[in-house]
């Protein structure tokens, strides 16, 4: 910041901040006369106009040909975020909303991340992303079977953290629902307390011997393996993808279509979030984004930890004209709050 601060004197900084504040609020290019009327900058509209011209020449503002006003550039937003952004703490009303949201909507660990994505989007009015951790440390609690019809059962595997894996299974030829209930009892006795990570190393010989039916054993093995495979994967939760339609920047149907298609590329989005893993908040603005679909967007990320262990990442994705102060304060608050919520599940 030292070089940038030297490049912009105090008056230019005040003009730049005023332009960005107004543009974030209105989504309309900002002119010097409007700036002079709304802000007490202590100089004439002509002086403000000259300062804005200098800021444009230095790359902090852009002049749209369709308007006499100017809008911030990625460089201007970067200066704003790094040195001019006003603090905007999470309000008491928002804290109460967050607390109620978790208390009324979350009963399982997987719901924590799903509801966190919805909550961040609801408060910021932007798209939210939550990269949830692997579940391999969760402990096996029980396996249950529920009758669906004469030949199918619903398999439900649950861990101590509330993680649930569901699957509809065909019963092997000659098997009855009572056989599945007996199999569940055997499995629960042998696997209770083992983490998903250690189950695959745990001898399943006793389970095979007690079940004494190869078809039933293979059925049990498939649901356990499915849970293991799922538990090894990080999960990505999105919230508020339709929120972008409310932003003027995304009224271009083609732009929105390409953005939505990119958001659906789960592995790509996971890679983007993993690239931002670090300590504290990280803000990537406009042209700083490597993916071409996000050149007009900003991504604010925060990584969350539990007892010093990195768990995952939460993020806000929106237009470069987003309310940075609010989004950054919310992610900081959610970062610590999310850790407390996760601790409830002893995960």
CATH number, position 276: 3.30.450.40
**HSE, side-chain direction, 13 A CA sphere, residue 329:** 16
H/E stretch holding 235 = strand 235-239
Categorize the per-residue pLDDT at 298 as very low, low, confident or very high, splitting at 50, 70 and 90: very high
Same domain, 126 and 209: no
Same domain, 125 and 274: yes
The total number of structural domains that make up the chain: 3
Indicate whether 1 belongs to any domain.
no
Same domain, 245 and 98: yes
CATH number assigned to the domain comprising residue 212: 3.30.390
H/E stretch holding 99 = helix 92-105
Could you read off the pLDDT of 50-92 as tens digits, one per residue?
Answer: 999 999 999 999 987 766 789 999 999 999 999 898 778 899 9
Residue that finishes a domain, picked among 192, 210, 232: 232
Q: Does residue 201 carry a pLDDT above 60?
A: no
Q: According to DSSP H, which parts of 200-323 are helical?
A: 205-211, 214-231, 253-263, 266-275
Range of the domain at 74: 10-82
Same domain, 42 and 67: yes
Q: By the 8 A CB rule, do 287 and 295 touch? A: yes
Residue that finishes a domain, picked among 197, 232, 267: 232
Same domain, 263 and 285: yes
Same domain, 204 and 109: no
Range with the largest mean pLDDT of 67-76, 121-130, 173-182, 233-242 = 121-130
User: What is the reported pLDDT for 229?
Assistant: 66
DSSP 280: S
Indicate whether 164 belongs to any domain.
yes
Indicate whether 2 belongs to any domain.
no
Report the phi/psi class of residue 149: left, alpha or beta, with left for phi > 0 and alpha for psi in -120 to 50. Answer: beta
How far lies 45's CA from each of 32, 78, 330, in Å? 6, 25, 36
Indicate whether 267 belongs to any domain.
yes
Indicate whether 332 belongs to any domain.
yes
Categorize the per-residue pLDDT at 3 as very low, low, confident or very high, splitting at 50, 70 and 90: very low
pTM of structure:
0.74
Same domain, 14 and 76: yes
Same domain, 65 and 178: no
Indicate whether 75 belongs to any domain.
yes
Same domain, 151 and 203: yes
Indicate whether 184 belongs to any domain.
yes
Same domain, 248 and 125: yes
Diameter over CA atoms, the chain = 90
Indicate whether 87 belongs to any domain.
no
Could you read off the pLDDT of 166-200 as tens digits, one per residue?
Answer: 778 888 888 888 888 888 888 888 888 787 767 76
Same domain, 111 and 144: no
Q: By the 8 A CB rule, do 328 and 281 touch? A: yes
Same domain, 62 and 116: no
CATH number assigned to the domain comprising residue 40: 1.10.10.10
Mean pLDDT of the chain: 83
How far lies 286's CA from each of 5, 281, 324, in Å? 21, 17, 13
């Amino acid at each position: 910041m030292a070089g940038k601060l030297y490049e912009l004197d105090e008056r230019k900084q005040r003009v730049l901040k005023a332009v960005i504040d107004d543009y974030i609020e209105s989504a309309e290019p900002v002119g010097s006369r409007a700036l002079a009327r709304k802000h007490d900058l202590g100089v004439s509209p002509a002086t403000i106009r000259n300062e804005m011209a200098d800021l444009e020449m230095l790359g902090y503002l852009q002049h749209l040909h369709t308007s006499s006003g100017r809008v911030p550039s990625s460089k201007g937003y970067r200066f704003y975020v790094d040195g001019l952004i006003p603090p905007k703490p999470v309000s008491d009303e928002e804290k109460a909303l967050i607390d109620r949201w978790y208390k009324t909507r979350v009963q399982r660990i997987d719901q924590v991340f799903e509801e966190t994505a919805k909550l961040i989007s609801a408060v910021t009015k932007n798209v939210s992303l939550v990269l949830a951790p692997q579940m391999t440390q969760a402990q096996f609690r029980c396996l249950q079977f529920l009758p669906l019809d004469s030949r199918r059962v619903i398999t439900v595997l649950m861990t101590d953290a509330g993680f649930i894996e569901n699957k509809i299974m065909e019963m092997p030829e000659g098997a009855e629902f009572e056989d599945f209930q007996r199999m569940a009892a055997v499995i629960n006795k042998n696997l209770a307390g083992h983490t998903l990570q250690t189950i695959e190393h745990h001898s399943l010989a006793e389970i095979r011997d007690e079940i004494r039916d190869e078809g039933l054993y293979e059925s049990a093995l498939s649901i356990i393996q499915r849970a293991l495979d799922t538990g090894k994967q990080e999960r990505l939760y999105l919230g508020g993808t339709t929120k972008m339609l409310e932003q003027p920047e995304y009224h271009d149907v083609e732009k929105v279509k390409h953005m939505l298609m990119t958001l659906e590329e789960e592995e790509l989005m996971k890679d983007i979030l993993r690239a931002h893993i670090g300590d504290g908040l990280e803000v990537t603005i406009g042209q700083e984004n490597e993916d071409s679909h996000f050149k007009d967007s900003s991504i604010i990320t925060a990584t969350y930890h539990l007892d010093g262990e990195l768990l995952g990442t939460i993020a806000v994705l929106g237009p470069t004209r987003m309310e940075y102060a609010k989004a950054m304060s919310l992610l900081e608050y959610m970062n610590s709050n999310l850790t407390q919520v996760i601790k409830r599940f002893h995960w």
